[in-house]
């Protein structure tokens, strides 16, 4: 990809995007919306080369001018910085938005009894994305421009017994993103924290949908709208915001009943 200088257009639509975890269903839906809104250059980073190729082909057919692909695995935080550096180099110019869509739901019953699996869950859901965000923030701060969109979860706002391994890792990532947003205040770089509830995807297919369940397309629409409005926290659906905020103040005896 040749060197370009691309910035958001007059409607705050990003022109150049890096997607970490770019083949997840939620990320794919977000990128489809961004391309439909005039995003033209993308760097997709993911672990499945075939999925990267398929998604790149769809984005090009949808109107993107160029889509580069990088293969990585989020199993070692030390590799996050070099991967993000490479993504910025491949992008070839100013990057408007970095989408961080890395995560694994895991299996609570198995994970909580296995120290190695707990470590893997924390690495994938917190440590690797956090290291990637720090590196991306450095690039964007140097440019004085850009946005980081990170997929958190309502599961991290107040951790439940039924998914505390996943929830605690997301709680760490969510708190880290909040702190990073404050550290970047005044730099021209914005952090957007996306907190979806239950999303119907392949990852959750075996689970019973929770109340207020949404599809990946619903998350994508909310993210695009939230970024345009410059929201720091994007709840999906919006009703979860006041509900989850209230739930944070429930006495522990009552919270134990929330599975």
C-beta pairs of 122-125 under 8 Å, 24+ apart in sequence: 122/168, 122/169, 122/172, 123/74, 123/75, 123/76, 123/77, 124/74, 124/75, 124/169, 125/166, 125/169, 125/170, 125/172, 125/173
Structure token pair of residue 20: 């970490």
**Rounded Cα gap, residues 232 and 255, in angstroms:** 27
Q: Which of 88, 126, 128, 166 is catalytic?
A: 166
Following DSSP, what letter does each residue of 216-258 receive, concatenated?
HHHHHHHHHHHHHTT-SEEEESTTHHHHHHHHTTS-HHHHTT-
* DSSP H or E run through 146: strand 146-151
Does 166 qualify as catalytic in the annotation? yes
Residue with tokens 């470590």: 119
Where in the sequence numbering do the catalytic residues fall? Answer: 166
């Amino acid at each position: 990809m040749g060197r370009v200088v691309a910035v958001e257009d007059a409607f705050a639509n990003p022109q150049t995007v890096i997607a970490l975890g770019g083949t997840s269903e939620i990320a794919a839906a977000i990128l489809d919306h961004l391309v439909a809104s005039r995003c033209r250059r993308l760097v997709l980073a993911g672990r499945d080369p075939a999925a990267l190729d398929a998604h790149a082909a769809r984005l090009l057919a949808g109107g993107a001018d160029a889509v580069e692909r990088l293969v990585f695995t989020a199993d070692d935080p030390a590799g996050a910085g070099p991967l993000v550096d490479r993504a910025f180099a491949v992008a070839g110019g100013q990057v408007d938005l970095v989408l961080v869509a890395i995560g694994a739901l895991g299996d609570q019953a198995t994970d909580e009894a296995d120290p190695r699996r707990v470590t893997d869950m924390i690495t994938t859901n917190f440590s690797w994305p956090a290291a990637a965000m720090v590196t991306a923030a450095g690039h964007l701060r140097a440019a004085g421009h850009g946005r980081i969109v990170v997929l958190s979860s309502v599961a991290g706002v107040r951790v439940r017994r039924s998914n505390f391994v996943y929830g605690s890792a997301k709680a760490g990532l969510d708190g880290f993103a909040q702190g990073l947003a404050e550290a970047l205040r005044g730099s021209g770089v914005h952090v957007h924290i996306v907190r979806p509830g239950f999303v119907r995807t392949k990852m959750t297919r075996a689970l019973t949908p929770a109340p207020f369940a949404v599809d990946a397309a619903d998350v994508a629409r909310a993210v695009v709208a939230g970024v345009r409005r410059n929201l720091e926290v994007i709840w999906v659906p919006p009703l979860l915001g006041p509900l989850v905020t209230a739930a944070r103040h429930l006495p522990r005896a009552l919270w134990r009943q929330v599975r």
